[in-house]
């Protein structure tokens, strides 16, 4: 179910990316002197257990394919490194780190160290609400969710006793990084990391920055619904993406559409991954304070220049109160958010509505 829902959500987001009648403030007007570009699209299913789509305006199919080849190579690199469930020959990844770092320091790729350092920054930024060291708790929920979806009639909830015991091993300070030696060590042998709240967004941002450094413009990366735009469309207009209606996932309905350029759009929602126990849905976003899923919101969408920050902050805001989340968003430069409550009530940060497209 996880893969099917992720694929559906990504396809829905891709279908909504288009030109906009009104450009976002700051988006340049059409430049008649620019070389004519054509629109190309390519999709993948191999990375981060979800669908990825590249939309680009380029001067030729060959130029587009060259960029896609580079993007795919980088997606594979990050996918293998940040996988917490599988190992790969010749690669020391986070799955290996979880198995071995509690015994002795593990030599890792610099991109794992960079992710862990970024994760610590996000932990501090969110007051601990986004904590990649919560793997011991998240693994319990993952196993119960998998079992429940495989055998719905016997779906069960984890006990508070086992969750509380696992929560004793979630101290991010126990992740010891030796940057000079290039190693990671767990001071607590029972600590496990889970980068689900930061890995995909961070990897998307790294690839986008690499493309920007190469002079790439007029491209959009949609990595499992983590959308990061590079410049505008080929005609100088902004991109438009729909924000999914949490109550109409399979119907393809959108609550609204936003227009933006050089920004990331990331949504965390309770409708993406869940299982049902006694007719109650339990989603995958676990509150680090209660150790259970919260039902305050059904989705939180973030607009900000950095896809990694958008990923981390959307998770944090899902578990914070509206007042706390609003304060967090307003403290981050060039960042806006939209919250959706179970009854459909929508809340916006101070500048979000400037990106909303009028209904046509």
Residue 77 half-sphere exposure toward CB, CA atoms < 13 A: 15
Using one digit for the tens of pLDDT, what is the confidence trace for 241-284? 999 898 876 666 889 999 999 999 999 998 878 999 999 999 99
Q: How many CB atoms lie within 10 A of CB 182?
A: 15
Asked whether residue 72 is domain-assigned, the answer is: no
Confidence at 235, pLDDT banded by 50, 70, 90: confident
Those residues whose C-beta lies under 8 Å from the C-beta of residue 204, and which sit 6 or more positions away, are 221, 223, 226, 228, 264, 307, 308
Of 167, 164, 198, nearest in space to 84 by CA? 198
Asked whether residue 292 is domain-assigned, the answer is: yes
Annotate 64-126 with DSSP letters as a single string: HHHHHHHHHHHHHHHHHHT-SS--BTTB--HHHHHHHTTTS-EE--HHHHHHHHHHHHHHHHT
Read off the tokens for 60. 């030729």
Angle at 256 between CA 225 and CA 18, to 5 degrees: 60
Asked whether residue 51 is domain-assigned, the answer is: yes
Those residues whose C-beta lies under 8 Å from the C-beta of residue 212, and which sit 6 or more positions away, are 230
What is d(CA 14, CA 175) in angstroms, rounded to the nearest whole number? 37
Asked whether residue 233 is domain-assigned, the answer is: yes
Confidence at 20, pLDDT banded by 50, 70, 90: very low
Asked whether residue 118 is domain-assigned, the answer is: no
Asked whether residue 137 is domain-assigned, the answer is: no
Using one digit for the tens of pLDDT, what is the confidence trace for 176-195? 999 999 999 999 999 999 99
Of 236, 237, 243, nearest in space to 299 by CA? 243
Q: Enter the pTM of the model.
A: 0.90
Asked whether residue 305 is domain-assigned, the answer is: yes
Domain region containing 337:
2-61+200-355
Beta strand extents in 237-335 (DSSP E only) = 239-244, 254-260, 264-269, 274-277, 280-283, 299-304
Report the number of distinct structural domains present in the chain. Answer: 1
Using one digit for the tens of pLDDT, what is the confidence trace for 115-164? 999 999 999 999 999 999 999 999 999 999 999 999 999 999 999 999 99
CATH code for position 215: 3.10.520.10
């Amino acid at each position: 179910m996880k893969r099917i829902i992720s694929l559906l959500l990504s396809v829905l987001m891709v279908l909504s990316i288009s030109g906009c009648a009104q450009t976002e403030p700051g988006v340049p007007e059409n430049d008649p002197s620019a070389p004519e570009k054509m629109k190309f699209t390519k999709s993948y299913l191999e990375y981060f257990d979800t669908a990825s789509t590249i939309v680009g305006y380029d001067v030729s199919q060959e130029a587009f394919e060259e960029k896609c080849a580079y993007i795919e190579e980088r997606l594979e690199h990050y996918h293998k490194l940040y996988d917490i469930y599988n190992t790969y020959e010749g690669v020391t990844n986070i799955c290996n780190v979880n198995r071995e770092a509690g015994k002795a320091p593990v030599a890792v790729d610099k991109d794992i160290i960079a992710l862990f350092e970024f994760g610590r920054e996000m932990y501090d930024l969110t007051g601990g609400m986004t904590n990649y060291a919560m793997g011991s708790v998240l693994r319990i929920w993952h196993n119960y969710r998998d079992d429940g979806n495989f055998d719905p009639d016997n779906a069960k909830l984890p006990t508070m006793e086992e969750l509380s015991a696992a929560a004793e091993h979630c101290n991010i300070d126990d992740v010891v990084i030796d940057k000079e030696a290039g190693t990671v060590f767990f001071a607590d042998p029972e600590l496990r990391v889970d980068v689900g709240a930061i890995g995909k967004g961070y990897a998307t941002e790294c690839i986008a920055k690499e493309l920007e450094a190469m002079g790439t413009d007029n491209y959009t990366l949609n990595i499992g619904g983590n959308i990061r735009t590079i410049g505008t469309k080929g005609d100088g207009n902004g991109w438009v993406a729909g924000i999914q209606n949490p109550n109409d996932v399979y119907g393809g309905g959108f609550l609204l559409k936003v227009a933006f350029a050089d920004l990331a759009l990331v949504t965390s929602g309770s409708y993406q991954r869940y299982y049902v126990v006694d007719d109650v849905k339990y989603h995958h976003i676990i509150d680090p304070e209660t150790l259970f899923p919260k039902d305050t919101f059904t989705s939180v969408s973030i607009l900000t220049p950095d896809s990694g920050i958008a990923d981390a902050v959307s998770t944090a805001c899902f578990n914070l109160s509206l007042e706390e989340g609003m304060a967090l968003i307003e403290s981050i430069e060039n960042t806006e958010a939209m919250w959706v409550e179970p009854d459909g009530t929508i809340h916006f940060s101070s500048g979000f509505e400037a990106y909303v497209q009028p209904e046509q």
